[in-house]
Amino acid sequence: MNYLYGWLGAGALTLVVVLGAHLMSAERKSESIQDILEAINPERRKLSYRVLNDVVAPALAGILIVIAWPIALFVKVKEWVRPDDKDKRRDQTEKQFSVDSSHLKERLSVQEIERREMVMDPLHAAPALPFGHLHNTWCTLIEGLTRESELWSFSAIWKAGWGANELREGYVLVREGVPGAFLMTVWSTIEK
């Protein structure tokens, strides 16, 4: 019986430590984020959801920590010893779009691309130049073209931060097989 009390006592102590660490390090939920979450899922406004989310779930987690405290302690110590793991996870979720070699379609010359991307408008509301209003961006891209680099077209399906799939197409500078700077000509959300 003493062993059981000892185990649960250690669990209670772990719970206090974990809770204290959580309160000290947790980022405050901003009101605007709350608004967004509630707009996406109106269920969040209901009392039953709030009781479940704010009372039942934390209480169950607390009981679990008291019972299986070595696991909670291991996770917490790991977080303290290697905090960069958490940052890495965060970096992955906020990853910026970049062209990958799997997105490459076709190697093209400057002339071929400029022929393809000539913009003509009957109302003369765009420069009659390759890439029209984005001509300067194109010029900046090809300034980076060297003997070792190539121009490729690319097409990618990209999962945006907010969950939707996007089609992104354009041209990219490839140096020693590695895609670098790029210019997008299509950036659209793929409807479900």
Partner 1 sequence: MTAQIAERLLYEGSEHAMCTNPLDDYFAMAGHRPPFGSPSTALWRGYVGRWEIVNDRLYLVGLSGTLEDGSEVTQASIFPDFPERAFAHWYTGTVRVPQGRQLKYVHMGYGSTFERDLLLTIERGVVVSTEIQNNGEADESQGQEGYGVGAMLIYPTKGRSRHRAQKDTDEGLL
Torsion 60-62-68-73 (CA) sign: positive
Count of residues making up the chain: 192
The verdict on 126 binding partner 1 (CB under 8 A) reads yes
Query: Of residues 154-173, which lie at the interface with partner 1 (CB under 8 A)?
Result: 167
Q: How far is the CB of 57 from partner 1 (least distance, A)?
A: 25
Q: Which residues face 150 on adjacent strands?
A: 174
The verdict on 184 binding partner 1 (CB under 8 A) reads yes
Q: How far is the CB of 138 from partner 1 (least distance, A)?
A: 10
Residue 117 main-chain phi, psi, to 5 deg: -105, 20
Nearer to partner 1, 163 or 177 (CB): 163
Query: Of residues 63-122, which lie at the interface with partner 1 (CB under 8 A)?
Result: 119, 121-122
The verdict on 48 binding partner 1 (CB under 8 A) reads no
Pairing of strands 178-189, 104-108: unpaired
The verdict on 127 binding partner 1 (CB under 8 A) reads yes
3-state secondary structure of 84: helix
Q: Rounded CA gap, 127 and 116, in Å?
A: 15
Among 84, 123, 148, 176, interactor with partner 1 by CB under 8 A: 123
Which H or E run contains 183? Answer: strand 178-189
* Closest-CA residue to 117 (of 179, 188, 184, 190): 184
The verdict on 188 binding partner 1 (CB under 8 A) reads yes
Nearer to partner 1, 62 or 132 (CB): 132
> Which residues contact partner 1 (rule: CB under 8 A)?
32, 35-36, 39, 119, 121-123, 125-127, 132-134, 136-137, 167, 183-189, 191
